[in-house]
Structure 1
Amino acid sequence: MTQTPQSLFDQPVDRRNSNSVKWHKYKDQDVLPMWVADSDFRVPQAITDALHRHVDHGVFGYGRAPERLTELLVKRMWQRYQWHIEPDWIVYLPGLVCGINLTVRALTAPEQGVISPKPIYPPFTSAAKLAQRPLSIAPITLQDQRWLLDLSQTEVTPASKLMLLCNPLNPGGTVFHREELQDILAFAEQHDLYVCSDEIHSDLLLDPNARHIPFASLSDSAAQRSVTLIAPSKTFNIAGLGASMAIIPDPALRRRFLKTKAGIVPEVNVLAYTAAQAAYESCQPWLEQQLAFLRQHRDRLTTRINAMPYLKLHPIEATYLAWIDASALPVPSPFKFFEQAGVGLSPGADFGDPGFVRLNFACTSQTLNQALDRMQQAIEALS
């Protein structure tokens, strides 16, 4: 019997004592954790089965990237995005955040600068700060109900060398159109910038009209100045295993990336490879069901939030992360206000705008409904 998206993803999983960062934050508190970007869904059975087979084998020595996984990745990029990549372009990593940090250090000298969107996923700005690189900002602004880069207000200095891009956008959920990406490419060409494109949410498209276009697929110029970062981790909820990929077409950039990585960043562990291969080989039907479920949650969330006083949620084209404008709330901190009401969101200040909160809706319907009820009751109590 085939499970419906509702029944498959509405099965509660008790994560409170499972060494979950997400759930441990509010351990022994009546606060619903809806912050960090991992879902509360069980992984596809094919992944669990593949991991069981590996565990039952009983040996966990050094591993290497399976040729089959590389074949699947090359095939996936072509079938989903019409982007032809070569196997030797792929560098496997134990996490996407380390890929951002490696790119900053590999492609910029200490005196060269990094351009980051804002508001944005915190590792973008922290990567520049940790590497002690000058940081400038590309503002994200609302344009026709979509969060987009404002290139006309982007800070560029003579030292600027690397531009960070997040597509789909986190937070905001925008899937950039081809002409928007072409404008970013023209900007990079004009200022002779490399582009690091974080595309980890590219499988999680909620708008039926949205189409993900890898930045590097735009042209040879885009490919030769780019590092593309992807992973199955958000898509299939295997972030804790640590399997990510950098796709670097230009041999010189790839050598610099590998040199920076050498001796510092460990290889991907064998179980992560096993999970990633199973995900890309067998789990597309599960992904389609997940997307159907997330679309239901997105629609319910949007309706409920926009019916509440003080709050505004603009359309979410991708990701399971809602970027909620709470700047009109008559409270010092929207994050603390909702946390005290029993809903643990991500503070907008972490992304660069304290008037916002980010809500992770990859959870059961019961959790989402309870969180929305608590938020509504807290707002009603203000009047």
Structure 2
Amino acid sequence: MTHYSPFQLFEQPVDRTSSNSIKWSKYKDRDILPMWVADSDFRVPDAITEALHRHVDHGIFGYGHPPARLTELLIERMKLRYDWTIEPKWIVYLPGLVCGLNLAVRSLTEDHQGVISPKPIYPPFMSSVKLARRSLSVSPVTLQNNRWLMDLAQTEVLPESKLLLFCNPLNPGGTVYHRDELLALADFTEHHDLYVCSDEIHCDLILDKAAKHIPFASLNKNAAQRSVTLIAPSKTFNIAGLGASMAIIPNPILRRRFIKTKAGIVPDVNVLAYTAAQAAYESCQPWLEHQLDFLRQHREKLEQEINALPFLKLHHIEATYLAWIDASALPVTSPFKFFEQAGVGLSPGADFGNSRFVRLNFACCSKTLDEGLRRMRAAIESLT
């Protein structure tokens, strides 16, 4: 087994400025650190690179189908890590998780029906509803015992509501839902007869060692039969650009509707994406464990330093490498523009539903994180 050193793997800066990176090309030729979109600056595990090289060396890139071994690995992973027994026929492979959100909205609701979404939330939640021209109602995400959670008591359920979009671990906010919280959500959806599309793409990135990811569909048979679960190795192993995601749909009626909506519009997963996903699940768990230790160090540094600054507040991040920073006390019109002018490119909170917040991606080398914090500190000091 390869011995991985976190400092060797994750501390060395990687020049991404000429790599056709959306993250890094946004501020090309400007002295602004990109700490926004959710891909990491970490090189993928060697096993993924080696598997891709073997496929590239073969020299043919024709149509492919889901490898049986990848399906086996996914089933094993769900059972071993999340105590969830799934069947091969439940799995629908997708070239990305965002298309899964859009397919869920269009396949699980009719034109006259509506969708409930958390807010603030990852932007494609809102856009998937808008693009499908469904009515939207909101489940406000609020602080409850210092954790960001959907407020079911304040959730707007319209007569036409048919689908609830859910995100666990939460993006933004980093909350890992407890079992009792998930059971309350399951009761809520059963009471209102709602389907659930559960985005669980960050499930492997649990930073609190005492926390445990619980798939919504694993709660009980009723939850399983009303749900579509979306997962992927993309955030975990930094292979988002390859596009390999999975929808897990136990209900055969919902699965047929999902596949029918996909047909002829959403392409199949490409062969290199399958290759990378299989290598990730088969050989890269040691790399992931070291990545989590590295991210925990960054989280601790970030929470300590952000909360030591005037005007800013960062609540504890239980999962993900994304910090949801409360800048509502900052005496500026736009916190996003304020920090961008200071040389730090964050995700604007307005995209998620709250313009007084910013989201910071801390999946980077320490040099980048330290410089980003230095620039933010200098900007804050200029106001005091």
Check whether TM > 0.5.
yes
Aligned residue in 2 for 1:260: 261
After superposition, give the CA deviation of every residue in 1:158-198 in whole Å (9 maximum; x if it has no partner).
Answer: 10000000000000000000000000000000000000000
Q: Distance in 2 between matches of 1:305 and 1:357?
A: 12
Aligned residue in 2 for 1:107: 108
- The correspondence of residues 213-362 of structure 1 with structure 2, limited to 5 A, is 213-362=214-363
Q: Distance in 2 between matches of 1:157 and 1:98?
A: 25
TM-score normalised by length of structure 2: 0.99
Q: CA deviation at 1:75?
A: 0.5
- The correspondence of residues 1-383 of structure 1 with structure 2, limited to 5 A, is 2-383=3-384
Q: Distance in 2 between matches of 1:50 and 1:4?
A: 21
Q: Distance in 1 between matches of 2:279 and 2:9?
A: 19
> AA paired with 2:162?
K
> AA paired with 2:247?
A
> AA paired with 2:250?
P
> AA paired with 2:340?
E
**Partner SS for 1:293:** helix
**Partner SS for 1:197:** strand
> AA paired with 1:9?
F
Q: Distance in 1 between matches of 2:9 and 2:247?
A: 32
**Structure 1: any 5+ residue segments left out of the alignment?**
none
Q: Distance in 2 between matches of 1:110 and 1:336?
A: 38
Q: Distance in 1 between matches of 2:83 and 2:204?
A: 14
Is the 2:234–2:245 contact (alpha carbons within 8 Å) kept by the matching residues of 1? yes
Q: Distance in 1 between matches of 2:8 and 2:257?
A: 47
Q: Distance in 1 between matches of 2:83 and 2:331?
A: 48
After superposition, give the CA deviation of every residue in 1:315-344 in whole Å (9 maximum; x if it has no partner).
Answer: 000000000000000000000000000000
Is the 2:175–2:317 contact (alpha carbons within 8 Å) kept by the matching residues of 1? yes
> AA paired with 1:316?
I
Q: CA deviation at 1:8?
A: 1.4
Q: Distance in 2 between matches of 1:148 and 1:90?
A: 28
Q: Distance in 1 between matches of 2:137 and 2:7?
A: 44
After superposition, give the CA deviation of every residue in 1:231-253 in whole Å (9 maximum; x if it has no partner).
Answer: 00000000000000000000000
Q: Distance in 2 between matches of 1:197 and 1:291?
A: 23
Q: Distance in 2 between matches of 1:18 and 1:111?
A: 44
Q: Distance in 2 between matches of 1:172 and 1:3?
A: 29
Is the 2:52–2:276 contact (alpha carbons within 8 Å) kept by the matching residues of 1? yes
Q: CA deviation at 1:5?
A: 1.1
**Partner SS for 1:75:** helix
**Partner SS for 1:148:** strand
> AA paired with 1:115?
I
Q: CA deviation at 1:4?
A: 2.2
Q: CA deviation at 1:11?
A: 1.1
**Partner SS for 2:360:** strand
Q: Distance in 2 between matches of 1:304 and 1:44?
A: 30
> AA paired with 2:64?
G
Q: CA deviation at 1:156?
A: 0.2
Q: Distance in 2 between matches of 1:344 and 1:210?
A: 30
TM-score normalised by length of structure 1: 0.99
Q: CA deviation at 1:3?
A: 4.0
Q: Distance in 1 between matches of 2:307 and 2:3?
A: 34
Q: Distance in 2 between matches of 1:123 and 1:94?
A: 15
Is the 2:4–2:286 contact (alpha carbons within 8 Å) kept by the matching residues of 1? no
> AA paired with 2:12?
Q
Q: CA deviation at 1:124?
A: 0.3
Q: Distance in 2 between matches of 1:208 and 1:73?
A: 22
Q: CA deviation at 1:56?
A: 0.2
**Partner SS for 1:164:** strand
RMSD: 0.6
Q: CA deviation at 1:346?
A: 0.2
**Partner SS for 1:126:** helix
Q: Distance in 2 between matches of 1:97 and 1:41?
A: 22
Is the 2:163–2:194 contact (alpha carbons within 8 Å) kept by the matching residues of 1? yes
> AA paired with 2:207?
L
Q: CA deviation at 1:6?
A: 2.1
> AA paired with 1:12?
P
**Partner SS for 1:162:** strand
